[in-house]
Structure 1
Amino acid sequence: MLYKQKKNQGPKGNRLLVSITVLGSAGPIRFVVNEEELVADVIDTALKAYAREGRRPVLGSDMNAFFLYCPSVRSDALSPWETIGSQGARNFVLCKKTRTEGMEEVERSTRKGTGNWKAWIHKSLSIKISSH
């Protein structure tokens, strides 16, 4: 018997069942990825699966607004450019990036369109200096 190869086969390599826990959600999202996939692509896939399942809280689709952690291996966030299989783990935590108070204040003042650029720089510098 002859077996036909699938035309849509992805890159060669091992496939992993990953489990991604989203902070504030009821349970993990599980899906299969290639171990050579980039962390950024895994975050994107997780956000799409999360939205498709109608989970709460609503996260949005901007993968740049999230970090992926591997708590069993290391405490810092994974680089979006490393491969998911490089950690040797299958359980991850997806966290939304936090925004600092200074960033929110600067964004609020620039959205309004009020003031000039000198006032904006002075305000952002005073926020940074006062937070230290």
Structure 2
Amino acid sequence: MLLYKPKKNQAGKGNRILISITVLGSAGPIRFVVNEEELVADVIDTALKSYAREGRLPVLGSDFSNFVLYCPTAGTEALSPWETIGALGVRNFMLFKKSSPVKNATEDGKQSPMVRKGAGSWKAWFNKSVSRKIVSHAAY
């Protein structure tokens, strides 16, 4: 007796891979299977939907254009939304919300210089955490 339907051959669709996406401030990574040829924008959208479905905190929202995906082992540049997720050959990523500048208007109507909220940007945090690891390993 057959308990499941066999899937059709997916030879033309590429390989499926398990990826792990870490969201800054969340309890742990989100893991799901994607096609290697899926666009980064689609992967971000899937990650946000999965994150919301699991009821994770902090609440992120659902607009994938407000987020960028980084690969910690491939440098500090964000992945292009039109790039395929399998292009780098890595499986671990970090999801960050794009920083939005906050501007304050002065009394005469002119814009004052940008004011940032918090002690620093996520890039500074990322570079600082990477440099700590390198320094701590070099000491041995």
Q: TM-score range by the shorter chain?
A: 0.7 to 0.9
SS at the partner of 1:72? helix
| TM-score, normalised relative to structure 2 | 0.69
Deviation at 1:101, TM superposition (A): 2.1
Q: Percent identity?
A: 66
The reply to whether residue 87 of structure 1 matches residue 59 of structure 2 is no
| TM-score, normalised relative to structure 1 | 0.73
Structure 2: 5+ residue stretches without partners: 115-140
Q: Which residue of 1 aligns with 2:65?
A: 64
- Change over 3 Å in CA distance of 1:11–1:64 after alignment to 2: farther
Paired amino acid for 1:23: L
What CA RMSD, in Å, does the superposition of the two structures yield over aligned residues?
Answer: 2.5
Equivalent residue runs for 1:91-130 within 5 Å: 91-102=92-103, 105=104, 123=110, 126-127=111-112, 130=113
Q: Tell me: higher relative CO, structure 1 or 2? Use CA pairs within 8 A at least 6 residues apart.
A: 1
Which runs of at least 4 in structure 1 moved beyond 6 Å after TM superposition? none
SS at the partner of 2:43? helix
SS at the partner of 2:13? coil
Q: Which residue of 1 aligns with 2:19?
A: 18
Deviation at 1:20, TM superposition (A): 0.1
- Equivalent-residue separation in structure 2 for 1:27 and 1:54 (angstroms): 13
- Equivalent-residue separation in structure 2 for 1:53 and 1:63 (angstroms): 17
Higher helix content, 1 or 2: 1
Kindly provide the CA deviation profile for residues 20-78 of structure 1, in whole angstroms up to 9, marking residues without a partner as x: 00000000000000000000000000000000000000001000110100011121100
